[in-house]
Amino acid sequence: MSDTTAAPTSNELAVQRTDMALGRTVMALERTLMAWLRTALSLISFGFTLYKVLEPLVDKGTVTMRANAPRNLGLFLIFLGIGLLLIGIFEYTTAKKRLIGDSEKKLPFSFTLVASIAILLVGVFTILNIFFGFGGF
């Protein structure tokens, strides 16, 4: 019995391994962006929740705080979450551009980047809700 399939050449193996390394690096970039996204979402939601829980308590006089303390604390956490997400998106896009370089390779579409932009818009919406009451929450 003779094997009719030829073994891959060293150049073919190198190309395969380079493609696999590129794929692993892109997945690492995606995981890092997801970590930024989780952190930002936690800060945005926690800031909005604190604002919505503490505001009525301050209005009723149940909790003694400055009048704008719940709003300021909530806004600080929301702005912090938005800022961190912007940093994460910037790092992701610059690292992806560096990774591609002058190569003609096309990297896969990033749903994580789309989700990050959507959460960024949610953060902006929460700020508008706190300032102007948009959304009826």
Distance (Å) of CA 78 to CA 85, 108, 115, 123, 129: 11, 31, 17, 6, 12
Q: For the chain, which residues make up each domain, given as ranges?
A: 10-132
Q: Please state whether the predicted TM-score (pTM) of the whole model is above 0.85.
A: no
Quick one: pLDDT band at residue 47, thresholds 50, 70, 90? very high
The CA-based dihedral angle spanning residues 49, 51, 54, 55, taken in that order and rounded to the nearest 10 degrees: -130
Q: Which pLDDT score, from 0 to 100, does residue 2 have?
A: 55
Quick one: pLDDT band at residue 15, thresholds 50, 70, 90? low
Q: Which pLDDT score, from 0 to 100, does residue 120 have?
A: 96
- Span 122-130, average pLDDT: 92
